[in-house]
């Protein structure tokens, strides 16, 4: 599991809120810093892949543990 | 990365149809799109400071119902408000954002909102009832941006 600099708990939130909250969190972070996101929306798995591809922020890891989806995104 | 553009025309003012323009616009902004929404006809209801959006099962056989309700019952007074509050509480319990929340996220993300001046005149809307930070314009105003957009949606 990568180290991270900031964490965002988007549990219970549905599309598009996890993406919007993540974007907001990343905006306040410096380039190269890592954001860990926790979500429960199953749609967020594909959405964070698409978000990373389109924004240039790197999706370092995407895992599922016990109904929670964990993402590590490195700010571009 | 070159900035893409999304242009949306929002023509409907019910609770269910309020979602697509605001979800797409806020998400597009998060993805780096420059986004504009042109609100016309019933879509103007989405710009009111105080939103009181409703959804009606009438004429919409696709709306999932907890139990089958005959159409004549759906037409009874109070049913529309009842269905609307049921829908709102369902959305809340599923972590779906409210229309108000999505709209403010759009404004925060600099989504440009344009109210159709012709419809404002037609329905004699009082512009003081609309949120701040919007512009008023016509079809030509919409095309100025839409003509250069990568995606253009009619909702």
Architecture of domain A6-74: 2-Layer Sandwich (3.30)
With cut-offs at 50, 70 and 90, classify the pLDDT of residue B143: very high
> Does the beta-carbon distance from B95 to A51 stay under 8 Å?
no
State the ipTM, two decimals.
0.89
Q: Which fold does the domain B5-55+98-154 belong to in CATH?
A: Hypothetical Protein Ychn; Chain: A, (3.40.1260)
pLDDT of residue B68: 85
Which one of A10, A12, A17, A67 would you mutate to disrupt binding with B, by most B Cβ within 10 Å of its Cβ? A17
Q: What is the pLDDT of residues B16-72, one digit of tens each?
A: 999 999 999 999 999 999 999 999 999 999 999 999 999 988 888 888 888 888 889
Q: DSSP string spanning B73-111?
A: HHTSTTHHHHHHHHHHHHHHHTTPPPHHHHHHHHHHTT-
Q: Distance between CA B63 and CA B142 in Å, rounded?
A: 32
With cut-offs at 50, 70 and 90, classify the pLDDT of residue B2: confident
Are the CB atoms for A21 and A15 separated by under 8 Å?
no
Query: Domain residues of chain B, as ranges?
Result: 5-55+98-154
> Does the beta-carbon distance from B30 to A15 stay under 8 Å?
no
- Facing A17 at nearest CB: one of B1, B32, B97: B97
pLDDT of residue B59: 86
Which are the catalytic amino acids of A? 15
Chain A: closest CA distance from residue B33 (Å): 10
Give the SS3 label for residue B145. helix
Chain B: closest CA distance from residue A41 (Å): 9
- pLDDT, mean over chain B: 94
Phi and psi for A39 in degrees, rounded to 5? -140, 160
Minimal-distance CA residue of chain A relative to B22: A16
Element (H, E) at B5: strand B5-10
What does the pLDDT average to over A46-66? Answer: 96
What does the pLDDT average to over A54-71? Answer: 96
Phi and psi for A13 in degrees, rounded to 5? -90, 145
Q: Distance between CA B106 and CA B71 in Å, rounded?
A: 36
The pair of three-digit structure tokens given for residue B12, joined into one six-digit string: 């409907």
List CB contacts (< 8 A) between A13 and chain B. Answer: 95, 97
pLDDT of residue B1: 56
Q: Is the pLDDT of residue B89 over 80?
A: yes
What does the pLDDT average to over B131-152? Answer: 96
Query: Domain residues of chain A, as ranges?
Result: 6-74
Q: Distance between CA B82 and CA B60 in Å, rounded?
A: 16
Q: What is the pLDDT of residues B99-117, one digit of tens each?
A: 999 999 999 999 999 999 9
> Does the beta-carbon distance from B26 to A55 stay under 8 Å?
no
Are the CB atoms for B81 and B57 separated by under 8 Å?
no
Are the CB atoms for B6 and B34 separated by under 8 Å?
yes
How many beta-carbon contacts under 8 Å exist across A and B? 35
């Amino acid at each position: 599991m990568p180290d991270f600099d900031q964490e965002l708990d988007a549990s219970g939130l549905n599309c598009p809120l996890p993406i919007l909250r993540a974007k907001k969190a990343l905006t306040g972070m410096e380039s190269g810093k890592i954001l860990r996101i926790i979500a429960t929306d199953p749609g967020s798995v594909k959405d964070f892949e698409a978000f990373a591809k389109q924004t240039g922020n790197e999706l370092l890891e995407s895992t599922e543990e016990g109904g929670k989806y964990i993402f590590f995104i490195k700010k571009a | 990365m070159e900035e893409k553009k999304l242009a949306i025309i929002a023509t409907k003012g019910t609770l269910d149809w309020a979602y697509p323009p605001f979800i797409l616009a806020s998400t597009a902004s998060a993805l780096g799109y420059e986004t504009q929404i042109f609100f016309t006809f019933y879509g103007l209801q989405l710009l009111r400071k105080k939103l009181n959006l409703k959804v009606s099962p009438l004429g919409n056989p696709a709306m999932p119902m907890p139990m089958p309700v005959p159409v004549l019952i759906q037409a009874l007074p109070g049913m529309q408000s009842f269905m609307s509050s049921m829908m709102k509480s369902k959305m809340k319990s599923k972590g779906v954002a409210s229309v108000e929340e999505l709209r403010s996220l759009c404004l925060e993300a600099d989504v440009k909102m344009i109210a159709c001046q012709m419809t404002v005149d037609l329905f004699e809307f009082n512009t003081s009832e609309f949120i701040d930070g919007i512009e008023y314009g016509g079809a030509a105003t919409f095309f100025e941006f839409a003509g250069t957009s990568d995606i253009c949606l009619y909702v």
